A and B are shown apart, each in its own frame.
Chain A
Amino acid sequence: DIVMTQSPDSLAVSLGERATINCKSSRSVLYSSNNKNYLGWYQQKPGQPPKLLFYWASTRESGVPDRFSGSGSGTDFTLTISSLQAEDVAVYYCQQYYSTPQTFGQGTKVEIK
């Protein structure tokens, strides 16, 4: 199974400042035949189901604000919030869908400093 490891487990960022979450996979999730990274990012707020933010590592889902960006390839990926807003307080998860069983990172809790 592919193990997904996020860092940090939690971070506190001032409003308007940058938040960076890292995600590392135990094996590459880059599929050579189509050059796509099978990596997604989700946001989950308390009491709500997850919300898809990115797929193919960097393709923003419709309606996601452009202060969110996804990057990386192979085994190392990053989710960046360029200017943290109050509504961005949540837990963020990466997920590989390169192979089954699909696996999630343990989550990163983002709070306001």
Chain B
Amino acid sequence: EVQLLESGGGLVQPGGSLRLSCAASGFTFGKYAMTWVRQAPGKGLEWVSVISDSGGATDYADSVKGRFTISRDNSRNTLNLQMNSLRVEDTAVYYCAKGLSGNYYDVCDIWGPGAVVTVAS
């Protein structure tokens, strides 16, 4: 079964850091671009970042550029999101998601259950 499972969420103070991970199983991880999408409480979906299948290309939303870093370890089937200089407005459920077909520009067909990140003092 194809699965994604996020971990690393929690409560952090403004200005702090947190590292999210996403464990993938049931598919050839290294063949697909991977994406992070977040959803603030009661709000819509916000695209955060994408990384290519090899890890050689990345992109970020303007709201997180320079503060968040996406990475992947294809040998461990793991996707990461390093979040620094966190702000209250970064509070959200963070989903990792798998690209449908291996292209960099792609929809996401498999989503994890999400990790809750709360930034508050």
Asked if A and B bind, the verdict is: yes
Binding site for B on A (CB under 8 A): 1, 38, 40, 42, 44, 49-52, 55, 61, 91, 93, 95, 97-107
Which of B47, B60, B95 contacts A49 (CB under 8 A)?
B95
Is there contact, CB below 8 Å, between A100 and B50? yes
Q: Which of chain B's residues 17-67 have a Cβ closer than 8 Å to chain A?
A: 35, 37, 44-47, 50, 59-62
Cα(A41)–Cα(B21), bound, Å? 26
Which of A55, A99, A107 contacts B107 (CB under 8 A)?
A55
- Residues from chain A with a CB closer than 8 A to the CB of B9 are none
Interface of B is mostly: strand
Question: Once A and B bind, how many residue pairs between them come within 8 Å at the CB atom?
Answer: 56
Cα(A22)–Cα(B113), bound, Å? 27
Is there contact, CB below 8 Å, between B111 and A50? yes
Q: How many residues on B have C-beta within 8 angstroms of the other chain's C-beta atoms?
A: 23
Evaluate whether A52 and B47 lie within 8 angstroms (CB atoms) in the complex, with A100-B59, A101-B60 already known: no
Chain A residue nearest in CB terms to B107? A40
Is there contact, CB below 8 Å, between B100 and A107? no
Q: How far is the CB of B44 from chain A (nearest CB, A)?
A: 4
Cα(A49)–Cα(B45), bound, Å? 10
Is there contact, CB below 8 Å, between A97 and B107? yes
Chain B residue nearest in CB terms to A50? B111
Is there contact, CB below 8 Å, between A52 and B59? no
Is there contact, CB below 8 Å, between A107 and B61? no
Q: How far is the CB of A37 from chain B (nearest CB, A)?
A: 12
- Residues from chain A with a CB closer than 8 A to the CB of B37 are 50
Cα(A105)–Cα(B109), bound, Å? 18
